[in-house]
Structure 1
């Protein structure tokens, strides 16, 4: 800017001299000559100032300092003693002291282990003290990169916050904070974010502030992935900026960077959909050799924790995992199945391989791994093709250990066996004792209600599927104590629409329709009617209803009459990308059918295609007719 102003002034002076009055012509010849020479000088000077070009001589270029013998000895060192001996023989500058200290701590960790495990005498070596003294005295001459590395070394050495060398280096770091590169700032955050010292905290916070101001400078993937992994302690604004950078650099991410970022987001419960989509896309482009088992374990965990679905990635992971299943450990099989269970993603060949792995290696599974496997199978409603062999191993493992389970785990396993239709009375009866129920009251209200509901399903399984083992009188008090009231919640559009059409179906007769029915089995029925021989709704108030806590009326259902339950299936009731119901809803349908209901299922994907009330009413009538015909055919 200054050169432009001076150039413009030179040109103006030149023009002014050319337009001077005629009196200059009467000046002395020498003076006139000077005046005529001036425009030429001004024009040349103006041109040079506008161009503002300078030629740099080769002698002015910075030269790298000549390597010293000390640095050569440090490069060849393989033991910490080599570094100390080299320093004693060739004392160096403060910058070399920082380099030597960093190299020495690295060799100590490599050859002797962590500093916490070392004797105190290690830090009392006079050669090391001389090195630290030199670093402290010449700290202002140490290069930025060396100073940051020296601070890391001092942190690794676990020096007390009052140590003068540590204080000297930290103070110098604070003075130079604005001159550090973004990589050096990232290193400070990575190494110091877990430290509790007051000055350490100040340094980390200052580094974060600088990165927040200079986040556009970040240009490498490693810094982005490292910083995102520390996201729990970072300001939300900086984390948002880092996620923007991750999107910008996503194409350059390695599989390890993708794994690191996704696991970090999962640990922080930060569901950043754009990043997950971008990283999933680039993960699919990687070769099979990069799809390690460790990578797939952590990615499945991250997707499950964040409830993020990407079918193409899941399919790729399944194809990569299938040949490796025999080589996996029980822990790895359990982790994978549990993660896919959270995602409600059922890949039949993969889960068949999981079941086969347990069958062949049942003695290697502990009871907790088996329990998690059963709960996952129950959640997805998965039945192995070789079920007899699989469940024989399961019952053999549970025979002696089930009674020793913690009460909540015992309830979960028994409920899972109920879903899988493998529950035996010896598993269920102990859970319906008052002593067991009382142990579940220590949980939070939400968790307590969840387990109370599971126990009602357990009681329903015993009553409906094993009636010979169900004695009403001893269990009556328990069932009354467990009586379930469905929590008040907003109705979904599907439920609201279905109930409106059901009122039309019964001509708005309140005695012919029940909605939102809470049964003694722990299930809630959205709509209940009784139809006669002609499938016409009739009043249901006079008839007995064993599914109601009150028992209903006094009369038995007449011949030819049928009790119908309407079950609207929402999108979350199905496995991902499938029309297969999850395990709990399969058990619900089975229990209601055993209780005497004809079930009419109303899935969301069929109901949404019906546009008018007339179409919906015709749909329900057709469904009722088909369900009654199928029941009579049985």
Structure 2
């Protein structure tokens, strides 16, 4: 190494870069004289290096991260010369391997990738999408371009491309691109994002049987995150689970179950999927595996996993009394809260997970009270049902639908004295407004009457004969499947619970209410909604009386 150190300036560029790449294999210390000599010479030549060699150097130094003395200068040169990039390989390589080290360079690479998107092959599309997802970047124009050009690829996509694209699109929230697409394709009026998800689900379905349990879970979670329900693919995943019962871990089982619950998907083999049979013969015929595996999970320490699983069974109308008793017992509540002897939550992410699990526990408790007639307890005690969510709710930014409702509700329901607004119920669900109407559909002061759905009732009077409680409930965009108008699992559970609690629901979906621009239109819309709910209830009562 003494000869190159003394005549380093006479070495050509290509051998010099090869020498720099070979130094670690020679066992030389990174801070040694020879290494520093080579690095210094490369540093002096950076401005004169061809762009191709600059890209290779960045790729070579990227694993060292910010520990490399050369890398910051290489990135700075690439930031200045990014317009010279003319090949897809260099752009894709830099985005995947170097982009996370320089946000400024990544922005320029996104612009270049947008320019070259039409030339990307499927694997390059996959790598660019993964780079965006893993760096938590949501470049909307680039994602739209990737989606559009992906649809133009005629050949069937390879399995790794399908699974990685599905994961990347779920991390980048591709479903949000369907509202204002910048590209349109052959089907009039249909956005690119739904067509991409349709293609991915269609081409993935024949490969489900060859996937590993981890890949199946990853796909199920991705589709749930995208709010996209492809029933044939979901059926294939359900059948895969039945055929590979012994290969699925309890975490993978619960993950698939939660994904089905979020999408509000009931398998066609639900009788087999959720069968109550637990005998050995049933086990051999692959029945009751969900409940049997969960029964074993009850002794495991992961309270969040068990809470998610039981909540999912509640959404899918499949809870069992042993599961309800296990998660509603005082010991389990203590572990969920992180009290002594329980699970602690030292990080912010863990605290958020704990808050989400506690809200799900309220939903489970509501299921036990409202939808499990044979269940006798335990239940959550009244003191823990108080509005613990009020502080978080006040910090949330109001949505356009929420703001519009706040303005229109007083005119539609009779004013502040007769209506209760922004109600947090003991069932874990919030309603935008609550009113009480007598048998003649005249509003009554809601605060005068007992309210079993509240932790503290303001009134003491019982509802008069024929009086009915009406709740105004808004449905935001994320509560619907993409791109349809079917409620997902959480919304479906809320609707069931509130109806079982005695409410007549005036449901306000975003796609109807936000189309109305004038306040008088919105007031008239809400009045019509309430009138239709009351008329439907009256017609149902008359039909019941006639039948009896």
Same fold by TM-score, threshold 0.5 exceeded?
yes
Query: Smaller-chain TM-score range?
Result: 0.7 to 0.9
- The separation in 1 between residues aligned to 2:33 and 2:413, in whole angstroms, is 87
- Is 1:356 the counterpart of 2:239 in the alignment? yes
- Whether the aligned pair in 2 keeps the contact of 1:517 and 1:524 (CA below 8 Å) is yes
Deviation larger for 390-399 or 487-496: 487-496
Q: 1:202 to 1:615 in 2, by over 3 A?
A: same
TM-aligned CA deviation for residue 608 of structure 1: 3.2
**1:552-563 matches, cutoff 5 A:** 552-563=458-469
- Whether the aligned pair in 2 keeps the contact of 1:307 and 1:343 (CA below 8 Å) is yes
Residue from 359, 381, 395 that aligns with 1:476: 381
Q: 1:606 to 1:196 in 2, by over 3 A?
A: closer
TM-aligned CA deviation for residue 581 of structure 1: 0.9
Deviation larger for 344-353 or 622-631: 622-631
Residue 190 of structure 2 is matched in structure 1 by none
- Whether the aligned pair in 1 keeps the contact of 2:304 and 2:354 (CA below 8 Å) is no
Secondary structure at 1:403 match in 2: coil
TM-aligned CA deviation for residue 631 of structure 1: 4.5
Residue 529 of structure 2 is matched in structure 1 by 620
TM-aligned CA deviation for residue 268 of structure 1: 0.9
Residue 296 of structure 2 is matched in structure 1 by 400
Residue 530 of structure 1 is matched in structure 2 by 436
Residue 155 of structure 1 is matched in structure 2 by 24
- CA offset digits 1:461-494 (Å, max 9, x no partner): 111122443447x742563478553621344333
Q: 1:461 to 1:239 in 2, by over 3 A?
A: same
Residue 90 of structure 2 is matched in structure 1 by 223
Residue 174 of structure 2 is matched in structure 1 by 308
Rg larger in 1 or in 2? 1
Residue 208 of structure 1 is matched in structure 2 by 75
- The separation in 1 between residues aligned to 2:234 and 2:399, in whole angstroms, is 32
Residue from 161, 170, 180 that aligns with 2:49: 180
Residue 599 of structure 1 is matched in structure 2 by 505
- Whether the aligned pair in 1 keeps the contact of 2:387 and 2:455 (CA below 8 Å) is no
- The separation in 2 between residues aligned to 1:268 and 1:498, in whole angstroms, is 37
- The separation in 1 between residues aligned to 2:462 and 2:58, in whole angstroms, is 75
Residue 258 of structure 2 is matched in structure 1 by 375
- Whether the aligned pair in 1 keeps the contact of 2:65 and 2:71 (CA below 8 Å) is no
Residue from 564, 569, 594 that aligns with 2:470: 564
- Is 1:336 the counterpart of 2:241 in the alignment? no
- CA offset digits 1:68-105 (Å, max 9, x no partner): xxxxxxxxxxxxxxxxxxxxxxxxxxxxxxxxxxxxxx
Q: Which has the higher helix share?
A: 1
**1:430-579 matches, cutoff 5 A:** 430-440=326-336, 441=338, 442-443=344-345, 444=348, 445-471=351-377, 475-476=380-381, 479-480=384-385, 484-485=389-390, 487-488=393-394, 489-508=396-415, 510=417, 512-579=418-485
Residue 188 of structure 2 is matched in structure 1 by none
- Whether the aligned pair in 2 keeps the contact of 1:532 and 1:561 (CA below 8 Å) is yes
Q: 1:276 to 1:490 in 2, by over 3 A?
A: closer
Secondary structure at 2:459 match in 1: coil
Residue from 138, 150, 159 that aligns with 1:271: 138
Q: 1:504 to 1:219 in 2, by over 3 A?
A: closer
Q: 1:191 to 1:363 in 2, by over 3 A?
A: same
Secondary structure at 2:496 match in 1: helix
Q: 1:606 to 1:626 in 2, by over 3 A?
A: farther
Please give the TM-score of this superposition, normalised by the length of structure 2. 0.84
Query: Bigger relative contact order, structure 1 or 2, given CA contacts below 8 A and separation 6+?
Result: 2
TM-aligned CA deviation for residue 501 of structure 1: 3.9
TM-aligned CA deviation for residue 135 of structure 1: 5.0
**1:124-139 matches, cutoff 5 A:** 135-136=4-5, 139=8
- Whether the aligned pair in 1 keeps the contact of 2:412 and 2:526 (CA below 8 Å) is yes
- CA offset digits 1:312-356 (Å, max 9, x no partner): 211111121122222222211111110111111112221121112
- Whether the aligned pair in 2 keeps the contact of 1:193 and 1:233 (CA below 8 Å) is no
- Whether the aligned pair in 2 keeps the contact of 1:161 and 1:197 (CA below 8 Å) is no
- Whether the aligned pair in 1 keeps the contact of 2:62 and 2:98 (CA below 8 Å) is no
- The separation in 2 between residues aligned to 1:494 and 1:627, in whole angstroms, is 25
- Whether the aligned pair in 1 keeps the contact of 2:412 and 2:524 (CA below 8 Å) is no
TM-aligned CA deviation for residue 567 of structure 1: 0.9
Residue from 383, 389, 393 that aligns with 2:272: 389
- Whether the aligned pair in 1 keeps the contact of 2:66 and 2:72 (CA below 8 Å) is no
Secondary structure at 2:311 match in 1: helix
Please list every run of 5 or more consecutive structure 2 residues that lacks an aligned counterpart in the other structure.
176-192, 275-287, 339-343
- Whether the aligned pair in 2 keeps the contact of 1:433 and 1:478 (CA below 8 Å) is no
- Whether the aligned pair in 2 keeps the contact of 1:600 and 1:627 (CA below 8 Å) is no
Q: 1:550 to 1:477 in 2, by over 3 A?
A: closer
Residue 187 of structure 2 is matched in structure 1 by none
- Whether the aligned pair in 1 keeps the contact of 2:436 and 2:467 (CA below 8 Å) is yes
Q: 1:272 to 1:627 in 2, by over 3 A?
A: same
Aligned residues: 498
- Whether the aligned pair in 2 keeps the contact of 1:212 and 1:237 (CA below 8 Å) is yes
Q: 1:427 to 1:481 in 2, by over 3 A?
A: farther
- CA offset digits 1:169-213 (Å, max 9, x no partner): 323322322221111111111111232796xx2222222222222
